């Protein structure tokens, strides 16, 4: 899929573009069902890092975030979300092959806290810029954020 010069300019100016119909309705249905299955725990997801919080409404522990779910763990979904058309468009927008740093799914339940605005960064010792304050906790590599995800586009540098 080729993006127009206008779409590229809009992305450059605003940081996003809207591509209506980019993902077809059958794919949206499959992705939605997969998200529901992942949340309900009805699919094997031993590789996933799941995070729970206490519901302010019911007091029960509820799933609020899942990480490390794409790549070789579910190639069908990875292809639907990150397949050729997606990579092609991202490459046109970035001017180079995209590289997925981290992927996660946030479930927003009624009454749950809102995420505070923040800037993601590499969760590894020594990966801070000089302007950033020291980390408040030890980085957790076990969450999967730094593990390579097979089947995704690696960065190509000349």
119 located within any domain: no
> How much is the pLDDT for 117?
67
Q: What is the pLDDT of residue 141?
A: 34
Task: Give the pLDDT of residue 26.
Answer: 92
Q: Which stretches of the chain score pLDDT less than 50?
A: 124, 127-158
| Cα angle 114, 119, 120; round to 5 | 100
Number of domains in the chain: 1
32 is a domain residue: yes
Cβ neighbour number for residue 91 with a 10 Å cutoff:
14
Which of helix, strand or coil describes residue 67?
strand
In a domain, 143, yes or no: no
Nearest alpha-carbon partner for 108 in 66, 78, 71: 66
Determine the pLDDT at residue 79.
87
Amino acid 120: pLDDT:
62
**pLDDT score of 123:** 52
At 119 the pLDDT is 65
Residue 107 lies in a domain: yes
142 domain-assigned: no
Q: Which of 145, 143, 121, 146 is nearest to 134 (CA)?
A: 121
- Does residue 84 sit within a domain? yes
Residue 101 lies in domain: 5-113
Examine residue 146 and state whether it is found in any structural domain, yes or no.
no
The Cα–Cα gap between 158 and 5 comes to: 25
């Amino acid at each position: 899929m080729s993006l127009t010069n206008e779409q590229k300019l809009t992305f450059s100016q605003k940081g996003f573009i809207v591509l209506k119909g980019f993902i077809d309705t059958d794919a949206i249905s499959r992705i939605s069902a997969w998200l529901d299955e992942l949340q309900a725990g009805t699919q094997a997801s031993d590789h996933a890092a799941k995070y729970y919080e206490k519901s302010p409404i019911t007091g029960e522990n509820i799933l609020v975030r899942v990480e490390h779910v794409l790549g070789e763990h579910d190639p069908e979904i990875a292809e639907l979300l990150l397949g050729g058309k997606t990579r092609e468009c991202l490459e046109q927008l970035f001017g180079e092959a995209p590289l997925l740093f981290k992927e996660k799914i946030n479930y927003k339940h009624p009454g749950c806290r809102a995420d505070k605005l923040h800037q993601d960064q590499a969760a590894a010792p020594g990966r801070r810029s000089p302007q950033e304050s020291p980390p408040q906790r030890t980085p957790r590599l076990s969450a999967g954020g730094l593990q390579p995800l097979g089947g995704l586009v690696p960065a190509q540098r000349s």
